[in-house]
Amino acid sequence: SIAQEPIDIYAKLLGITTASNKIQKEQTEQDVANNQLKIPPHFSLEKGLKRIQNIDTTKDPLLQDLADVIVMLCMRPTEVSSLQIDHYEVDLSNPSAWYKNGYFWYCTGYAKNKGENKDNPEPRPFLSMEKNPERARALLIWIQEAIKAGKLSDPTFSKNGKRNTRAFSKFLKPYKITPKILRKIGGKHACRVHGGPNPTHQHLDLLNRIALRHKI
């Protein structure tokens, strides 16, 4: 889990934001605080966590497992094959510019957000509805290895490398959601898991941005 102190520190630093961050904050407050994001019961926090906890990585993953891991890690479908989660030992006497006090697990290989420099993306703090980063990392690798071995369809590309989302979209169709919505659901679930009692809009916004790997 994430300590409350570093979250509070960074929340206080959000008084001045860029226009894009303000837009993101407004959207987050609408989706999270006002509960405007409609989550199918099948992808509720309780059911999602139960499925994740019961995953058996000795078996080949199914599309349901893929969907649950995408939600768990707030991934874009294009990030499934590239995202990495790693533990960093940082020299606190000379920390890297990207280091955030209190965070030791970081993500790389993520897709940059609109307006961000796509060159040399820095590691960003890991936050997920799955509080155990080692478990989250193991599930991600399990999915990635299955895709590489051809045992699971990539949600974005076919085996020949062409863009093809039909199989995954067909799986999600009965729940009336798209792959893009899974990422938003994951952000909301992460806020609930880490938000604590009576969280402020600002606190929820920060948690959501960390979970979605936005720059903070």
Q: What is the pLDDT of residues 184-203, one digit of tens each?
A: 999 999 999 999 999 999 99
pTM over 0.75: yes
Q: What is the CA radius of gyration of the chain?
A: 17
In this model, does residue 58 exceed pLDDT 90?
yes
Q: Can you tell me the distance from the alpha carbon of 180 to that of 47, in angstroms, rounded to the nearest whole number?
A: 19
Question: Residues 99, 90: contact at Cβ < 8 Å?
Answer: yes
User: Can you give the pLDDT at residue 97?
Assistant: 86
Please report, rounded to a whole number, the percentage of residues in the chain having pLDDT higher than 70.
Answer: 80
In this model, does residue 166 exceed pLDDT 80?
yes
Please name each of the domains of the chain with its CATH number.
Answer: 4-13+42-211 (1.10.443)
pLDDT band at 216 (very low <50, low <70, confident <90, very high): confident
The arithmetic mean of pLDDT across residues 124-133, rounded, is 95
Strand 105-108 with 124-125, pairing: antiparallel
pLDDT band at 22 (very low <50, low <70, confident <90, very high): low
User: Can you give the pLDDT at residue 20?
Assistant: 46
State the residue for tokens 């000795």.
58
In this model, does residue 162 exceed pLDDT 80?
yes
Q: Can you tell me the distance from the alpha carbon of 53 to that of 38, in angstroms, rounded to the nearest whole number?
A: 24
Between CA 84 and CA 88, with CA 86 as vertex, the angle to 5 degrees is 145
**Mean pLDDT value across the chain:** 85
Question: Residues 121, 112: contact at Cβ < 8 Å?
Answer: yes
The structure tokens listed for 53 are 């906890």
User: Can you give the pLDDT at residue 118?
Assistant: 61
CA dihedral 136, 139, 145, 151 (to 10 degrees): -150
CA-wise closest residue to 191 among 65, 47, 21, 31: 31
In this model, does residue 66 exceed pLDDT 70?
yes
User: Can you give the pLDDT at residue 160?
Assistant: 78
User: Can you give the pLDDT at residue 34?
Assistant: 42
Cα of 173 vs its chain's centroid, Å: 21
State the residue for tokens 């995953």.
55
